[in-house]
Structure 1
Amino acid sequence: MKVMPACLMCCLVLLAAPAPAADRITGQPFATRSVVYAPEAMAATSHPLATQIALDVMKQGGSAVDAAIAANAALGLMEPTGNGIGGDLFAIVWDPKSQKLHGYNGSGRSPKGLTLKWFQDNGHQSVPSHGPLPVTVPGTVDGWFALHGRFGKLPMADVLAPTVRYARDGHPVHDTIAYYWNRSVPLLSKWPGFSEQFTFDGRAPRTGELWKNPNLANTLETIGREGRDAFYKGDIARRIDAYFREHDGFLRYEDLAAHEGEWVEPASANYRGVDVWELPPNGQGIAALQILEILEGFDFSKFEFGSAEHVHLFVEAKKLAFADRARWYADPDYFPARDGDRAKAKALVGELVSEQYAAKRRALINPDRAARSVDAGILQHGDTIYLTTADKDGMMVSLIQSNYRGMGSGMATPGLGFIFQDRGEQFVLKAGHPNSFAPGKRPFHTIIPAFITKDGEPWVSFGLMGGAMQPQGHAQIVMNLVDFGMNLQEAGDAPRIQHDGSTDPAGQVAEMNDGGVLNLETGFPYETIRALMRKGHTIEFADGPYGGYQAIARDPETGVYAGASESRKDGQAAGY
C-alpha cells in the first residue's frame, strides 16, 4: 500500500530511518525472539494453534507430511485470508529413506469450457480479479492425498480431525488475520455465499472473537471419511458444478473429475557451497535461483548487510531474473513447446539457472547505476500461507498453499465452507503469450516452497509467502544465512528489500521502462537510501509487501532441529 509520492516520502525516510538494530543478547542483526530448538520434531506455521496441531499429529505417530496436511487444514479454517481448500498447493519433501527431495505441483487448470475467444468477444482486456471468471480447479485436496499416499502414516480422517473440532467448537481470531479479514469483507461480500459463511451479519470477526465454520467441518469430515474423490467426483463436486452454473461461472464437474496434480523434480542452484532447491514452472521459484546465480559472482564479504552495494546489486539481479520470469515461465505443457514436450521445458529451466547464463546476465549490471529497463535473455531453446514440519525420522516438509489475493475470488458454494481461488487472473488475454489463456491450462503461479541442502544432507526447509516478493525473499534469506552469517531467526527478521515494477508474466506491467520502484523496510540506514537514490533508484514507502517467513533447520551431526517464525505474522515455531 503506497501512501505518498516518492519525492516526499524519500525525504521522510532519510530523516527517520534508523541504523539496523542489534539483538539485545547476541549483538547480531535484530531478532524478535530466540531460535527454537527441539530434538525430535518441529513445526513452524503462521498460526500458533496450527503449529500445535502439527506437533500433536507427530506425537500420535504421524509423519511430517501428516503434520503438514493437518496444519494446512487448520490454517484454511483459522487463516482464510491466505488459504483454504479452494486454492492450490506446492510442496517439497525431504525423504530420509530415499535420501532425496520430492516435489509436488498441486496447481489446478482453467475450466475447459472457457476460451480466450469468449473473453475477447465479451470485451475483457484482462481476466477479472474476483468473481467466477478467474476461478481455476482447486488443487489442494488432491495435493494432500498425493503427499499422504506416498509419505503419510495416520488415516486421513485422523489428520483432519483437529480442524474439524475447531471448526465446530470455534477458535479465537488472531490480530493480523482479523486485520486482513476486515479489509476483505467490503470487497468480497457481493459474491454469492461469501457473507453467509465468512462474516458475522456482514462484518469480519474481530481480534479474539470465537469463529466457527460448521460447513467446512462437514466438508473436511466427508473428505476424511470418503477420500479424495469425495471432493473431485462426489456430491461436493456436483454442488460446485450447480453453483457455478447458477452464477455465470464455467467451472464444471468434468473439470474437477479430470484434475491431477503431479510429482516434479525440483531444480537447484549452488550458492557458495549450499544447494538451493525450488520447483520448476509453472511457478516462479527458479527466479530465486537466477537471482542467486547472478549474485554469486560478487564478493559480499566486502559489503555489510544493508549497505548500498548490497541493496543495489540485489535489486539489479532481481530485475534481470524477473525479465526472464515474464518471458519464459509458464505451464510446461504449453511452453516453450506447444506439444507438451517436457524435455524442452526441462532444458529451458536448466539453461536459465546455469552458471554460464548467469555470467552473461551478470555482465549487464552497472555497479554505479540502476537499470531503467532490461530485456529477457536470449536462450537456445498472490496472499498465501507457508508452513514447514520435520519429524523424528528426519523427514522435512516445505509446503505453501494459497487462494490468491488474500481470500480469493469471493465465490463460496453455500454449505461447503470454503472460498475458491482466483488464480486465473494470472492468465494473459493475448494470443501467443506464454501465459495466454487456454482451456485446461495451468496459470503462472506465484507460490513457491524452498529447501536448502548442504553436502547432500537436508539443512533448511523454508519459505516466504507474498506474491512477487517470494523469489526476492527466498534469495534474501539464503544471502542472510550464507553471506551475512545470520541465524535462522535473524535471517527472517532482518529488514527486507522489495522491488516492484518489473515486466509481469500476467501482463499487468507491460514492460518496465522506468527502473521500477524500490521499497525498503524500516531498518536500512539513511546513508544507504541516499546512496541508492544517487545511483538512480526510485524509493517509496510501502506498508506490508514484505512477505511472511517460516523455517526449520537440521543439524547434520546431532539431528537437532532449529525453528523460526518471523514477526510479520501471528505465527509460532515449536517442537518437542
Structure 2
Amino acid sequence: MVVSPHKLATAAGARILERGGNAFDAAVAVSACLAVVYPHMTSMGGDSFWLTYHQGDGAVRGYNASGRSGYAASLQAYSDLQAIPRRGIRSIVTVPGMVDGWHAVHSRYGRLGWGELLEPAIHYAEHGFPMTQDQFANASQHAAVLGASPETAAIYLPGGKPAFPGDRFKQTAMARTLKRIAEHGRDEFYKGETAKEIASFLLKNGGLLTIDDLVDHQGDWVQPISGSYRGHTLYQMPPNSQGFSGIMALQMLESFDFSAVEHGSYEYYQLCVEALKLSFRDRNAYLTDPGFADIPLNRLLSKSYAAELAGSIRLDRAAELTSKPLGADTAYAAVVDRDGNAVSFIQSLYFEFGSGVVAGDTGVLLQNRGSFFSLDPGHVNRLQPFKRTFHTLMPAMSCVDGKPSILYGTQGGEGQPQTQTALFTRMVDYRMNPQQAINEPRWVWGRTWGEPTQELKLEGRVAEDVARRLGEAGHAVRRVADFDGIMGHACAIRRDERGFLLGGADPRSDGGAIGW
C-alpha cells in the first residue's frame, strides 16, 4: 500500500514496489517525486522526518533529516530586526536535510539502485506534469513572493503568471540537479557542484549559509518517543519535532469513555480540542533542539501527567490559550510492503514555497524553516549557530503486538497533531477505515498567518448545533468550506485484524492510495 498527497508520487512508489523494491525504496521514490510534483509544499531544499519499521529489526526507528542553522546564524546577525524575516534571502537560516534523509533510509534498508529511485522525479521534472488546481491556487496566492526573486519567477511564474491547471509544468534546472544526485549520490548536494552553486548564490545575495554549513550537515538516526492508547503503542519523532504533543493529547483522551461519546458531537470536538490545547501549552514552553535545552519528556509523556491534565478539561468551557502562526506547507506519505516493512514520513519547506528563493541554477527552492527561531535571548527556541529549530513535522505510527498497525500524518503546522488526533480516534474508537476517517469533517484550532489567534475553524459539514455550542463554550468559531484545504492533506494506512491493508488519501489534496 502506498499513500501520498499527489497521485503521481503514489504511482511512483507503487512502480518501485512492482519492480521488486521494498517499502524503503518506494518511500524514497515517493519523497523525491513529491519534491517535483508538489513544489508548493515540499522541495529538495527542505527537511524531512522518517519513522521506519524493518521486519528484520522488529523495531521502529526514526531518522531526523532536519537541518541545523548555519555557523554564522546568531542573534547578532539579525540585530537590525525584531524577528527573522519569513520570506526572502534572510529567511534561509537552516541547511536542507531532505537529500541526506533519502540517502540514510536507502543506504540502511534499500534494495534497488539509488539512481532507479530518482527516475520518476527526474522524468516529471524534465518532461513535466499537469499543473494541478491546488498548485495553481497556491502560486496565484503567493505570486508576489514568487516574483520577488528572478530565479524563482522564471520557474513558477512563466510569462509573469502561474501555469494554468492542466498545463505542462517543467522544471529543467531541477532535472539537471536530480540527475547529478542520481549519478554522484548524497554528497553531490552537500559537497559537489550543487552545493557549490547553492553556497555561491547565497554568498552573492547576502545569505547566511556557507559551503561549510552544507559540507558539515548530517542527519541522525534516533530512538522514537512512545506512548499508548487503548492497546496501541504510539510512536512519534522526538524533539526537535512536535510529535510529543500528539502522544500527550491521545493519552489525555484515553481518560474518557468514547463509547459514550457520539462521533461528531459537541462532546467529541470539545474533548479533542481542549486536550490538544493543553499539549500545545507544554510544546510551546519546551520544544527546541534537545542539544541546547532539557526537555522533560519523561514527565510530559507519563500517564499520570496525562490523567492530571485530563482532569482539568471542562466540557462546558474553552480554556484560554493563544496560538502562534505556524507553517502549513508539508507533504505526508506512507508505504507498507508485502514483507511488513513500513515507512511513515513527512517533508516540508515550512511556508508555501518556503523562502520563495530558488538557489541559482539548481532549481532548488530553499526552505524558510529557520525563520521560526526566536530573536529573544531568553526564549528556549532562540537562534544559535548549528542548532535545529522547533519543528512542526511529525510522522506517526502505531503498533499492536509489536507490528505496525496504523501509519498516519498530515500537512498543516499547528493542524498536524489536531488532524492526527481526529484520524486516530476515528479509526480506533469509532472503527472507521482510513478513508472514512480522513473524509469526515475536521477542525483546526489556531494556525493562521499574521497575528496569533484562538480561532477554531470548523468545516461546513460540522452540525450547526455543534458549532453553536462550541461558540457558547467560549471558542472563537469560524465556519469554513465543507472540504477546506486549511484542514491539511492527510494520508493513512491501517492493517486490520484480518491482515488486509486499508489506505486513504485526502480529498482536500491531489492524493491517492494504491494497494494490491
Give the TM interval when normalised to the shorter protein: over 0.9
Cα distance change, pair 374–44 in 1 and its aligned pair in 2 (3 A): closer
**Separation of aligned partners in 2, 1:57 and 1:501:** 36
- Residues of 2 paired with 1:391 and 1:373: CA distance? 42
Q: 1:262 is matched with which residue?
A: 220
Q: Could you list the per-position Cα deviations for residues 72-112 of structure 1 after superposition, in whole angstroms to 9, with x for gaps in the alignment?
A: 11111111010010000101111111111111110001111
Asked if the contact 2:73/2:383 (under 8 Å) is kept, the reply is no
Please, which of 348, 356, 374 is the counterpart of residue 410 of structure 1? 356
Correspondence for 1:226: 184
Does structure 2 conserve the Cα–Cα contact (< 8 Å) formed by 1:291 and 1:318? yes
Distance 2:317 2:122 in 1: 55
Q: 2:209 is aligned with what amino acid?
A: L
Residue 164 to residue 312, structure 1, CA distance change in 2 (3 Å): same
CA contact (8 A) 1:116 1:437 kept: yes
Partner of 1:549: 490
Within a 5 Å distance, the mapping from 1:166-181 to structure 2 comes to: 166-181=124-139
| 1:520 alignment partner, one of 440, 453, 458 | 458
1:53–1:71 Cα contact (<8 Å) kept: yes
Aligned AA for 2:466?
A: T
Q: Secondary structure at the match of 1:540?
A: strand
1:497 aligns with 2:443: yes
Is 1:452 the counterpart of 2:398 in the alignment?
yes
Q: CA deviation at 1:544?
A: 3.2
One-letter amino acid of the counterpart of residue 520, structure 1: L
C-alpha RMSD of matched pairs (Å): 1.8
The residue that corresponds to 2:434 in the other structure is 488
The code of the aligned residue for 1:370 comes to A
What residue is the counterpart of 2:306 in the other structure? 358
Q: Deviations over 1:50-75 (max 9, x none)?
A: 11111111111111111111111111
Shift of 1:554: 2.1
Q: Is the 8 A contact 2:414 2:447 kept in 1?
A: no
Deviation at 1:119, TM superposition (A): 1.1
Moved over 6 A (4+): none
What is the alpha-carbon distance in structure 1 between the residues aligned to residue 393 and residue 400 of structure 2? 24
**Matched residue type, 1:531:** R
Q: Give the aligned partner of residue 537 of structure 1.
A: 475
TM-score normalised according to structure 1 size = 0.85
Give 2:29's aligned residue.
Answer: 70
Q: Is the 8 A contact 1:134 1:425 kept in 2?
A: yes
What's 2:389 paired with? 443
CA contact (8 A) 1:278 1:448 kept: yes
Q: Deviations over 1:503-528 (max 9, x none)?
A: x9xx974xx8xxx2211112211111
Structure 1: distance between partners of 2:159 and 2:133: 20
1:253 paired to 2:211:
yes
SS at match of 2:139: helix
Aligned residue in 1 for 2:337: 391
Q: How many residues align?
A: 508
Q: 3-state SS of the aligned residue for 2:78?
A: helix
Partner amino acid, structure 2, of 1:301: S
Please report how far the alpha carbon of residue 170 of structure 1 lies from its aligned counterpart in structure 2 after TM superposition: 1.7
User: Aligned equivalents of 1:165 and 1:485: distance in 2?
Assistant: 40
Partner residue, 1:372: 320
Paired residue for 1:133?
90
State how far apart, in whole Å, the 2-side matches of 1:253 and 1:508 are.
36
Distance 1:374 1:66 in 2: 41
Letter paired with 1:95: H
CA contact (8 A) 1:457 1:556 kept: no
Contact 1:133 1:424 in 2 (8 A): no
Structure 2 CA distance for partners of 1:551 and 1:374, relative to 1, 3 Å: closer
Taking the aligned partners of 1:250 and 1:162, their CA distance within structure 2 comes to 33
Once the two structures are TM-superposed, the CA of residue 44 in structure 1 deviates from its matched residue by: 0.8
Deviation digits for residues 372-408 of structure 1 (CA, Å, limit 9, x no counterpart): 2499xxxxxx311111112121111111011111111
User: In the alignment, what sits opposite 2:51?
Assistant: 92
- Going from structure 1 to structure 2, the CA distance change for 1:508 and 1:277 (only over 3 Å counts) comes to farther
- Structure 2 CA distance for aligned equivalents of residues 462 and 363 of structure 1: 28
The amino acid across from 2:402 in the alignment is G
**Shift, 1:152, TM fit:** 0.7
How far is the alpha carbon of 1:352 from its aligned partner?
0.6
Q: Which amino acid aligns with 1:62?
A: G
* Residue 256 of structure 1: how far off its partner (Å): 0.3
Kindly tell me: are residues 361 and 204 of structure 1, through their superposed partners in 2, closer, same or farther at Cα, counting changes over 3 Å? same
Counterpart in the other structure of 1:572: 512
The percent identity for this pair of structures is 37
- One-letter amino acid matched to 1:133: R
Q: How does 1:13-28 map to 2 (within 5 A)?
A: none
Question: Is contact 2:433-2:502 (8 Å) kept?
Answer: no
* Structure 2 residues not aligned, in runs of 5+: none
Q: Label 1:51 to 1:110 Cα distance change in 2 as closer, same or farther (>3 A).
A: same
User: How many Å apart are 1:271 and its aligned residue?
Assistant: 0.8
Q: Do 1:105 and 1:261's aligned partners in 2 also have CA atoms closer than 8 Å?
A: yes
Distance 1:112 1:538 in 2: 42
**Does 1:109 find its partner at 2:55?**
no
1:279-318 C-alpha deviation (Å, 9 max, x unpaired) = 1111111111111111111111111112111111111111
Greater gyration radius: 1
Q: Which residue of 1 aligns with 2:15?
A: 56
Q: Structure 2 CA distance, aligned partners of 1:327 and 1:508?
A: 19
TM-score, normalization by structure 2: 0.95
Q: Output the CA distance in 2 between the equivalents of 1:566 and 1:500.
A: 21
Contact kept, 8 Å, 2:146 with 2:156, in 1: the verdict is: no
Q: Answer 1 or 2: higher relative contact order, Cα 8 Å, separation at least 6.
A: 1
CA contact (8 A) 1:318 1:472 kept: yes
Code of the aligned partner of 2:385: P
Counterpart CA distance in 2 for 1:368 and 1:50 is: 44
Shift of 1:189: 1.2
SS in 2 for 1:467: coil
How big is the shift at 1:192? 4.1
Counterpart AA for 1:529: A
Alpha carbons of structure 1 residues 484 and 125: separation in structure 2 relative to 1, 3 Å = same
Residue 277 of structure 2 aligns to a residue in which SS?
A: helix
Q: Is the 8 A contact 1:182 1:205 kept in 2?
A: no
Within the candidate set 459, 476, 479, 2:422 is matched to 476
Aligned with 2:88: secondary structure?
Answer: coil
| SS of match in other structure, 2:469 | helix
Matched-pair contact (CA < 8 Å) for 1:45–1:572: yes
